[in-house]
Amino acid sequence: MSQNKIKVVVTRKLPDSIETRMMELFDVQLNLNEDPMTKAELIEAVKTADVLVPTVTDRIDSAILSQAGDSLRLIANYGTGVDHIDLASARQRGITVTNTPDVLTEDTADMTMALILAVPRRLAEGAQVVHEGNWKGWSPTWMLGHRIYGKRLGIIGMGRIGSAVARRARGFGLSVHYHNRHRVHPEMENELEATYWESLDQMLARVDIISVNCPHTPATFHLLSARRLKLVQSHAYIVNTSRGEVIDENALTRMLVAGDLAGAGLDVFANEPAVNAKLLNLKNVLLLPHMGSATLEGRIDMGDKVLINIKTFADGHKPPDRVIGEAF
């Protein structure tokens, strides 16, 4: 497959430097505005493209893939998570799917740690008071939060991001606890001074802060269900920078409204960009617009990964970041 004949359709605006390099290498159809493609536009794209470059906001389901032309051989996802792509349909059609692992680990871990610090210390509330001109001066009992040092952090998913969060947490004096599909290597466990919990239920009942860092899969959908959320101590906080679907958002909202949880820091939601209206009115909830990985450096690194995957595929070789596929 000759690189200069490959038609690449990019669904969202990417950093200028990445788009420039794509135009130099391929026949590229860019999305020059910040709006996502409609379903009809995605269907038109897969009919003619050799390579599709979607993002997390693009639902590439079986209905779209069923309209794909025979030329579509690669979906080079701009992002790590691929839960928005129907992998079974892609595999059935012989379409290779790649992603951009590793490059967002540190950025997402930074944002996770920022929420772990910000929510118990009420940073969003304090900033709002100052911005609105309502600060009346210092008082010894005003805007009291809770100390982070010495608290128990429970990490759900000790993969790349989870372990990066654990390293940061140790620096702030938190004790690290974790639940994972498989226990990590003893060397890593010792390095992080981490305590493994085979039972998620038992860990949830014993930690002060919960950080959700597992991917969204059928097995993790509503992993934090209404039943499990009731196991969490009422003084605890929940932070989610993974995917909104991992938590039963309605159950979480009910508990926050009722005061059965101390607070939450949420960067992801079940029906983005829609957010449960009841969450918007809660002072103990810090809401962010899915910006956990939003750094210029990270976005450029993601683009570099996409370029390498496309170029390698175009040269007839296996892309380095394959999720599925042997379409050669």
Q: Which of 91, 93, 146, 290 is catalytic?
A: 290
Residues 227, 235, 272, 317: which is the catalytic one? Answer: 272
* Terminal-to-terminal C-alpha distance of the chain: 10
Which among 12, 243, 245, 299 is annotated as catalytic?
243
The three-state (H, E, C) secondary structure of the chain, written as one string: CCHHHCEEEECCCCCHHHHHHHHHHCEEECCCCCCCCCHHHHHHHHHHCCEEECCCCCCECHHHHCCCCCCCCEEECCCCCCCCECHHHHHHCCCEEECCCCCCHHHHHHHHHHHHHHCCCCHHHHHHHHHCCCCCCCCCCCCCCCCCCCCEEEEECCCHHHHHHHHHHHHCCCEEEEECCCCCCHHHHHHHCEEECCCHHHHHCCCCEEEECCCCCCCCCCCECHHHHCCCCCCCEEEECCCHHHECHHHHHHHHHHCCCCEEEECCCCECCECCHHHHCCCCEEECCCCCCCCHHHHHHHHHHHHHHHHHHHCCCCCCCEEECCCC
Confirm whether 272 is a catalytic residue: yes
**Active-site residue flag, 290:** yes
Q: Any idea which residues carry the catalytic annotation?
A: 243, 272, 290
